Amino acid sequence: MEKFKTFLKQFTNIPDDSMNSLLNLFEPIAFKKNEFLAQEGEYSTSLFFVESGVLRAFYQNPKGEEFNKLFFTTPSIVGAYSSLITNEINKINIQCLSNCTLLKANFQSILDLYEHNPIIERLNRMIAEDFFVKKEQREMSLVMNDASERYELFKQEFPGLENEITQYHIASYLGITPTQLSRIRAKRD
């Protein structure tokens, strides 16, 4: 829980009683490599904090092709946000790329804290704003930067991750083929 507390405190100062109310909603849970936290077509009810491991969020088209949207490493919060917020089915998959240790909470229980702990609502807003900014930066990178520049940004954002996951997943995240990624890597070496 210490990693989680440190992560939360970077957004705002949280009084101990509010912090404890929030932390008490989370319980440790482990997932094995290739297990899913969320799958397309299901409803999500839980929010997670990554204590260790690597996860990916991805879409799959009708042909079965996968497109990686995000990677999650420690410290980060992960969940099928659209499903959580709208109470509609997931359109995204979230899969463990390694064995993962997470903290899990029921999303509605977190929302219920807002009424008596406005600092938790503020914290959630600040985390959402941070997520939005990162999402916008990634979208801009996909259209403004060439593949080599996107690869360099990936390495900066996720140091060492390229040694932990397959080239296929990195290429999908960058919007290129594994062959293109091999060429980029060969030019850099």
- Name the amino acid, one letter, at 175: G
pLDDT at 172 exceeding the cut of 90: yes
- Structure confidence at residue 126 (pLDDT): 93
Whole-angstrom distance, CA of residue 148 vs CA of residue 122: 38
Give the pLDDT mean for 152-174: 92
- Structure confidence at residue 161 (pLDDT): 93
Q: How confident is the model at residue 113 (pLDDT cuts 50, 70, 90)?
A: very high
Q: How confident is the model at residue 186 (pLDDT cuts 50, 70, 90)?
A: confident
pLDDT at 9 exceeding the cut of 90: yes
Give the pLDDT mean for 170-176: 92
Q: What are phi and psi of 78, to 5 degrees?
A: -135, 145
Contact yes or no for 135/69 (Cβ under 8 A): no
At the topology level, CATH places domain 2-129 in Jelly Rolls (2.60.120)
Per mean pLDDT, which range of 81-90, 137-146, 173-182 is the poorest? Answer: 137-146
Mean pLDDT, the chain, rounded, equals 93
- Structure confidence at residue 167 (pLDDT): 92
- Structure confidence at residue 57 (pLDDT): 96
- Structure confidence at residue 189 (pLDDT): 60
Could you tell me the two tokens for 182?
Answer: 């091999």
- Structure confidence at residue 178 (pLDDT): 92
- Structure confidence at residue 123 (pLDDT): 94
Give the pLDDT mean for 150-176: 92
pLDDT at 146 exceeding the cut of 80: yes
pLDDT at 114 exceeding the cut of 70: yes
Q: What is the DSSP letter of 45?
A: -
Q: Facing residues of 72 across strands?
A: 55
Could you tell me the two tokens for 115?
Answer: 């009424």
Q: How confident is the model at residue 54 (pLDDT cuts 50, 70, 90)?
A: very high
Give the pLDDT mean for 79-87: 93
Per-residue burial over 79-111, b if 16 or more Cβ lie within 10 Å, else e, is: bbbebbeeeeebebbbbbbeebebbbbebeebe
Could you tell me the two tokens for 150?
Answer: 């996107």
Give the pLDDT mean for 158-172: 92
Q: What is the DSSP letter of 142?
A: H
